[in-house]
Amino acid sequence: MITGHVFIATSIDGFVARKSGELDWLMKQETKGEDHGYDAFMASVDGLVMGRGSFQTVMTFEEWPYEKPVVVMSRTLGQDDVPAAIADRVTLTRLDPAGVMKMLDGQGWRRVYVDGGKVVQSFLRDGLIADMALTRIPILLGDGLPLFGVLDSDIDCEHLDTRTFPSGLVTSRYRVVNNAG
């Protein structure tokens, strides 16, 4: 069965980015030499699913950071909006979360990195997230793009483990137990 997995950092008050998408508050953390498990996590997935907002933020980076295939969920962008240099690794889709997972399952994917606030929210609502690694950055932003959003009902989680880092980052992993959708 194909499963969705979250690996994401938030401020203490739960934002993944400023309203504008900016990640400056995240980048300023002194985390040199720390292994937050990103490489191991990335090695464990077949590829990523993200939304237009995350895609456009990543496009502002100096280099495209992903070697694995990326699926971008957008109702407004088309394949023409993907630069030629990464066109072999980036696919646009207008499918809903379940449709995306079905498509990727058909392509042999087993583990999907689900990234970005809105996309994580929609996958959680549709019962498509198996577990989440949540890293808390020691800062309060007061405003921004929230990781979590409205649900149809409570979602119980099981705490798997928590690791702390000299930088002040704290990563907790949770298994999503029930997801009534």
Give contact residues for a second copy (rule: CB under 8 A): 12-14, 25, 124, 134, 136, 138-143, 147-159, 161-162, 164, 168-170, 172, 174
* Shortest CB 167 distance to a second copy, Å: 8
CB-nearer residue toward a second copy: 48 or 147: 147
CB-nearer residue toward a second copy: 17 or 82: 17
Q: Which residue has the tokens 């392509």?
A: 107
* Shortest CB 72 distance to a second copy, Å: 25
3-class DSSP state for residue 153? coil
Q: Which residue has the tokens 């959003």?
A: 149
CB-nearer residue toward a second copy: 68 or 175: 175
DSSP summary character for residue 79: G
| CA distance linking residue 21 with residue 105, whole number of Å | 30
Q: Is the CB of residue 104 less than 8 Å from the CB of residue 91?
A: no
Q: Is the CB of residue 114 less than 8 Å from the CB of residue 6?
A: yes
* Shortest CB 25 distance to a second copy, Å: 6
* Shortest CB 121 distance to a second copy, Å: 9
CB-nearer residue toward a second copy: 104 or 176: 176
In the sheet with 3-11, reading across from the earlier edge strand, the strands are: 90-93, 70-73, 47-51, 111-114, 3-11, 129-137, 170-176
